Structure 1
Amino acid sequence: MEKKEGSYPYDRGGQTVIVNQSEGKRSNGLGTAGFVLALLGLIFSWMPGLGWVLWLLGLIFSFVGIFRVPRGLAIAGLVMSCIALIILIVVAGAIGSLIAAM
């Protein structure tokens, strides 16, 4: 048996099989957490204490999640945090004007 250059000793002339493996789905945990907290902050924005805490946590997590890939939920969380901030300011102003009227 004559050995060819570059072949293995047990080479039988079969096909070469190439397996392409995908990298898998990438996720952004901080962006997802920021989105969920911003959504809860938007839902509970009428409650002064809980709304502020959820809004702040959603804003922080979404902002940090912007710097990681994928960015979709982090951007959505940041936008919802901005909307929740507007609602929180309006609610705080309404409560302040009620207190001042008394």
Structure 2
Amino acid sequence: MSETQQNDSQNNNGQTIIINQNSNSNGVGTAGFVLSILTLIIGCIPILGWFVWFLGLLLSFIGIFKKPRTLAMIGLFISLIGIILLLFVFANLALFGASSAALDGL
């Protein structure tokens, strides 16, 4: 047996190493989804809630262009619902303020 064959037989101990290079995850989309859910919880905090909402919307939008895009689409949908709710709440607060100011003038 030659020296190289002997070294190869000593190094081969019967173990097979499998390296999986296929990544089936979308980290950006998942982060956008998590931030969108977090926005629903802390959305009432003015600056922090808006910042987290914007990050969730942005990361969900970026995550749509990578596969799998399920969580990114759900995160984008939740972010859009969040902004609609935010605008609805502020519109009602503005109407309430305007009507109370009108009643104070009477």
Q: How does 1:39-54 map to 2 (within 5 A)?
A: 39-54=37-52
> For 2:30, which of 29, 32, 41 is the aligned residue?
32
CA positional deviation for 1:85: 1.0
Q: Deviations over 1:19-76 (max 9, x none)?
A: 9875554211110110011111122233333332221111100000000111111011
Measure, in 2, the Cα distance between the counterparts of 1:90 and 1:30: 29
Q: How does 1:1-102 map to 2 (within 5 A)?
A: 23-100=21-98, 101-102=100-101
Higher helix share: 2
* 4+ residue segments displaced more than 6 Å: none
Q: Structure 2: which amino acid aligns with 1:67?
A: F
Gaps of 5+ in 1: 1-18
* RMSD over aligned Cα atoms: 2.4
Distance in 1 (CA, whole Å) between partners of 2:93 and 2:45 is 11
Task: Give the whole-Å Cα distance in 1 for the aligned partners of 2:78 and 2:57.
Answer: 9
Native 8 Å contact 1:59 1:78 kept in 2: yes
Verify the 8 A CA contact 1:45 1:52 in the aligned structure 2: yes
Partner Cα separation in structure 2 for residue 92 and residue 48 of structure 1 = 11
Percent of matched pairs sharing the same residue = 45
